[in-house]
Structure formats: structure tokens, C-alpha cells
Amino acid sequence: MAENSWHAFDDGTTLGQKGSENGVTMRDEEHPLGARITLERGCHAAPFAITCGIYGCMLHTRFFSGESEACSEYDLMRSALSSLLAKASESGEESGKVIIEGVSAFVEAYP
């Protein structure tokens, strides 16, 4: 499934609402293979936060001081999640192993 498989989470109703890091949700997207990524501004811990997860497996949050960097990293992380989900979906019985190894690499690449 391609990068363009992402769609607005909950039909976009979360935009402008308080997010998990107590900021205002700027972007919030879901992948049909089971992942979500959210960008917030005005969070308690930092000016910007990206929270992403693979359902039932991983939840990961990063914090940023600038909007430009946060937006750029959001796009990079979304692309990396797409690749990981595609690889796992193509691996059949090995999908669990692919996800575990992929999550580890993802968190290392995006600390």
C-alpha cells in the first residue's frame, strides 16, 4: 500500500481539538494497515509534538521546538511507517517479526 494510503483520522474531526500531548491537533492521519500519526502545537512539554503508533504494537512521541522541523519530521516518519506497514503486510507469517524489527529500527531512526 502506497504512501498516499493515509487519510484524515475520524474524517478530520480531530483537527483543532486537544490531542494526547494537550496541544492543538494540526495534522492527524490514519493508515488502513493499522497506524496513526498526529502533529500537535502548543503542547505542555514542547511547542510541537508528533505522536505515532502501530495499532496493538507501538506508541511513540517526539517533541520539537520549531514548526518547520516538526512538519518535516512528520512527513519523514509517515513515509517510514508506510514502508514498514507495507513490508509487514507482504511478509505473511513473518509479519510479526518484521513489525518488531521494524519498530526497533523506526524508534532508533526517530528518537
Taking all residues of the chain, what is their mean pLDDT, rounded to a whole number?
A: 96
Quick check: 78 pLDDT over 90? yes
Helical segments of 9-66, H only: none
Tell me the pLDDT tens digit for each residue of 28-52. Answer: 999 999 999 999 999 999 999 999 9
* Residue 31, C-beta contacts closer than 8 angstroms, at least 6 positions apart: 1, 5, 6, 81, 82, 85
The residue with greater pLDDT, 1 or 79, is 79
Quick check: 2 pLDDT over 90? no
The answer to whether the beta carbons of residues 5 and 31 sit under 8 Å apart is yes
pLDDT over 90 for what percent of the chain? 94
Count of domains observed in the chain: 1
Rounded distance, CA 40 to CA 60, Å? 14
pLDDT recorded at residue 4: 76
In the DSSP assignment, the letter for residue 42 is: S
pTM: 0.94
The answer to whether the beta carbons of residues 38 and 9 sit under 8 Å apart is yes
Domain assignment of residue 13, given as a range: 3-109
CA dist 40 → 15, 43, 91 (Å):
9, 7, 33
Taking the alpha carbons at both ends of the chain, their separation in whole angstroms is: 25
Tell me the pLDDT tens digit for each residue of 84-110. Answer: 999 999 998 899 999 999 999 999 999
Rounded distance, CA 48 to CA 57, Å? 24
The answer to whether the beta carbons of residues 85 and 34 sit under 8 Å apart is yes
